[in-house]
Amino acid sequence: MSTTTKNPTKQQSPITTTERYRMIGFFIFLSVFGFAAFISTQQYLGMFFIAFVVTIVLYPVYVWLAKKLRIKMLASFTAMVFFIIILVIPLSIVGIIAINQGIAFFTSLLQDFSVTEAGIQITTFVTNEIFPALNESNTINLEQIAHDATLAVVSMLTSAALYIASNGMKLLIEFGIFLLFLTFFFPEKENVLDTLKKIMPLSPTESDYFIDRFAAITKKLSISVIVVPIVDGFLMWFILALLGVESAVFWAVITGIVSLLPVIGVSLIWIPATIIFALQGDWLAATIMGLYGLIVMNFADNIVRAKLLKGNQTQVPELVTILSAIGGIFAFGFFGLFYGPIIVIIFLALLDIYKDRLHQKD
């Protein structure tokens, strides 16, 4: 009678030298063609990312349309049209009006520095009363500095208008590519996120946590980037139009842009506006502007931002948000206002995962 002994533990065979070389070769191929793919598509990577962000924000709209229309591509196309009608067209019209008003305002301001009595009074008051030491030293000509700065702004706005006019076809093509990305992402959003979970070097639980936090951050931050500037810009337009400022739309757009900086954003507009009204001798307008900015605009900005970013997954100290937004501008340009905070919050999410791993080891 013979007995056979079975090994209870099945040992895995070690990786052979051939298999190791094959893995190294595979990663070399992956790196080379990955880099080539990046070079080929880098022009559209920012557009690709923005399209995916818009998809996350509007995905509930797509889901609702898909249930009603029962055809995914038709629902995706309808959601894209909704995005164009609700956001793109109104912002484009406001932008065109703002550029025209900005050019007209700063062009007239150039004449005010040397022609009108009001312009002479303002510059004389600033140089003689506010900065008398600079005026006496003759080392700095404040009027010339203000004139040059105004001329630079006029040149910048004119260049922007000429760029839009001369590159209209290119901008339309790029916008069409953006819409193509958008149409693709709506039905494929869940598949894209599932693929990210599979290729991430994290456990399934960690991957779920990271993707959920990324989606929550992206959605809330994107909505705040849209809603906060619209609210602040509208409030600024309302008070400036009420006070009879002809370039109210231009300054409303500028207010919307600077409002992307938390805490200090809107103050960069209403405080100088109050000072300018005071220098012009319009103390009623200066008082109204100062009280309106201090009470209404600051309160509305803080409340709207707090409501939109409410939640544990998106809580970041305001100082970190400001620094990441400013640093993002230097690193990525205008869209760095959006990229910077997202990168920092994602880093904090990975840091939380790392801390959990350390606690599990303890």
One-letter amino acid at 61 equals V
Which of 82, 80, 78 lies closest to 69 in space, CA to CA? Answer: 78
CB 178 within 8 A of CB 51: yes
| Average pLDDT over every residue of 153-158 | 65
pLDDT digits (tens, 9 = 90+) for 210-253: 888 777 777 777 787 788 888 888 888 998 888 888 888 888 88
Q: What is the pLDDT of residue 320?
A: 67
CA distance 362 to 355: 11
Answer yes or no: is pLDDT of 156 > 80.
no
pLDDT band of residue 151 (cuts 50, 70, 90) is: low
Query: What is the secondary structure of 160-183 as a DSSP string?
Result: HHHHHHHTHHHHHHHHHHHHHHHH
| Residues 201/206/211/216 CA torsion (nearest 10 deg) | -150
Whose structure tokens read 């056979």?
Answer: 4
Domain boundary assignment for the chain: 44-191
Rounded to 10°, the helix 17-69/72-83 angle is 80
Sign of CA dihedral 26, 28, 29, 31: positive
346 three-state secondary structure = helix
Range ranked top by mean pLDDT from 142-151, 170-179, 235-244: 235-244
pLDDT band of residue 319 (cuts 50, 70, 90) is: low
List CB contacts of 183: < 8 A, sequence separation 6 or more.
Answer: 73, 76, 77, 80
Task: Choose the weakest-confidence range: 227-231, 261-265, 310-314.
Answer: 310-314
Answer yes or no: is pLDDT of 314 > 70.
no
0.85 exceeded by pTM = no
Rounded to 10°, the helix 318-332/336-361 angle is 120
CA distance 266 to 165: 30
Q: What is the pLDDT of residue 128?
A: 53
DSSP 127: I
CA distance 52 to 61: 14
Answer yes or no: is pLDDT of 5 > 80.
no
One-letter amino acid at 279 equals L
Percent of the chain with pLDDT strictly greater than 90? 0
Task: Choose the weakest-confidence range: 14-18, 124-128, 243-247, 289-293.
Answer: 124-128
Percentages helix, strand, coil for the chain (3-state, rounded to 5) are 85, 0, 15
Cα Rg of the chain (Å, integer): 28
In terms of pLDDT, which residue wins out, 286 or 360? 286
CB 56 within 8 A of CB 219: yes
DSSP 201: S
| Average pLDDT over every residue of 7-36 | 73
Percent of the chain with pLDDT strictly greater than 70? 73
Q: What is the pLDDT of residue 313?
A: 55
Q: What is the pLDDT of residue 254?
A: 85
Q: What is the pLDDT of residue 1?
A: 46
CA distance 236 to 255: 7
Q: What is the pLDDT of residue 117?
A: 47
67 three-state secondary structure = helix
pLDDT band of residue 13 (cuts 50, 70, 90) is: low
| Average pLDDT over every residue of 120-136 | 51
Element (H, E) at 289: helix 283-291
| Average pLDDT over every residue of 192-205 | 80
Answer yes or no: is pLDDT of 200 > 50.
yes
pLDDT band of residue 49 (cuts 50, 70, 90) is: confident
| Average pLDDT over every residue of 172-188 | 81
Count of CA atoms in the C-beta half-sphere (13 A) of 350: 9
Cα separation values, 205 from 202, 218, 351, 356, Å: 8, 20, 15, 12
DSSP 16: P
